[in-house]
Copies of this chain bind each other. A is one copy, B any other.
Amino acid sequence: MVAASNANAPIGVFDSGIGGLTVVRELMRQLPDERIIYFGDTARVPYGPKSPDTVRRYAREIATWLQHQGVKAIVVACNTATAHALDTLEEEFSFPIIGVVEPGARAAVRASHGGPIGVIGTAGTIGSGAYERAIRALAPQARIAARACPLFVPLVEEGWLDRHATRLIADDYLVPLRQEHVDTLVLGCTHYPLLKPLIADVMGRDVQLIDSAHETAAETARVLDAVGLRAQGSLTCPHRFVASDAPEQFLRMGQRFLGTAIDRVETVTLG
């Protein structure tokens, strides 16, 4: 158990790259008094195609580094790292570890009216079956329709959020889910909140979209409350943004993902 005196310590957040900044954005909105240290493993992005052992090794290295920075909890703001490494981190570290999969799955089960639950994500996340397992753990009879959407991440990183080509690609990926009459769709990738208006338009107003970033921030608030680790008083130190290589991408894309510009990025080499 962590000492309550740590309540004003920062929350560590990590992702393979910049996508986890959508989770930071929600944390800043829902938990404005919390200080955040974000680690984007830009030297080793993407995690999706890498083996579970490799991803676990990376996650352990980053969590150890965040521990040395004195964090009180870690948010694994990366679907692949959550799928492969959450259990390992929970075993090896004594502070709370929050992943992105479980909160999204729980919100989806709550929102669904019994229709199939749709899940979209990268090929790695969908291939891992992590959302299916998390949903079935809560609702064993749930029908699930999962679909990998590999072009969404590069489209978001290119800033093509509402182009005609993006719409055609979204139709191709999502119309089969609409035809299966999913009533809920989990956005199972930290990049996808930026495509929410387009995805909502393709799916139609009857389908409830579950934003994992939003749910993960809400879960973080619940966990910190439960262990008495919510920050006391308002934020005094600035957030820290750390990249393992080439911080230019953060500076260039921070605004798009975070909703506010990042003006300083530290570089830390791991491994």
A230-271 CB mask vs B (1 if < 8 Å, else 0) is 000000000000000110010000000000000000000000
Q: Which residue of B lies closest to A171 (CB)?
A: B165
A194-238 residues at the B interface, CB under 8 angstroms: none
What is the bound-complex CA distance between A123 and B249, given in angstroms?
11
Interface residues of A in 152-171 (CB under 8 A from B): 153-155, 157-158, 160, 163-166, 168-169
Q: Which B residue's beta carbon lies closest to that of A168?
A: B165
Given A154-B150, A154-B154, A164-B168, answer yes or no on A49-B54 (Cβ-Cβ < 8 Å). no
Contacts of A42 in B (CB 8 A): 49-50
**Chain B residues within an 8 Å CB radius of A163:** 168, 172
Q: From residue A168, how far is it (CB to closest CB) to chain B in Å?
A: 4
Give the residue name and chain of the B residue nearest to A150 (CB): B158
Interface assignment of A138: CB less than 8 Å from any CB of chain B: no
In the complex, A172→B163 CA distance in Å? Answer: 10
**What is the size, in residues, of chain A's interface with B at 8 Å between Cβ atoms?**
26
Complex CA distance for A245 and B43, rounded to whole angstroms: 16
Known: A150-B158, A151-B158, A157-B150. A51 touches B168 (CB 8 A): no
Q: What B residues does A153 contact at CB under 8 A?
A: 154
B151 and A155 within 8 A (CB): yes
Chain A 40-61, CB within 8 Å of chain B: the 1/0 string?
0011110001110010000000
Structural contact, B43 and A50, CB atoms closer than 8 A: yes
A64 CB to nearest chain B CB (Å): 19
Closest residue of chain B to A149, judged by CB?
Answer: B158
Measured between beta carbons, the chain B residues less than 8 angstroms from A158 are 150-151
What B residues does A150 contact at CB under 8 A? 154, 157-158
Instruction: State A18–B209 Cα separation when bound (angstroms).
Output: 35
CA distance A76 to B164 in the complex (A): 37
Residues of A within 8 A of B (CB): 42-45, 49-51, 54, 150-151, 153-155, 157-158, 160, 163-166, 168-169, 172, 245-246, 249
Told that A151-B155, A151-B158, A165-B172 touch, could you supply 6 new A-B pairs with CB distance under 8 A? Answer: A43-B54, A45-B49, A49-B246, A51-B245, A151-B154, A165-B169
Query: Which 4 residue pairs of A and B lie closest in terms of their CB atoms, listed nearest first?
Result: A165-B168, A154-B154, A165-B165, A165-B169
A-B contact pairs, 30 of them (CB 8 A): A42-B49, A42-B50, A43-B50, A43-B54, A44-B44, A45-B49, A49-B245, A49-B246, A49-B249, A50-B245, A50-B246, A51-B245, A51-B246, A54-B245, A150-B154, A150-B157, A151-B151, A151-B154, A151-B155, A151-B158, A151-B160, A153-B154, A163-B168, A163-B172, A164-B168, A165-B165, A165-B166, A165-B168, A165-B172, A168-B168
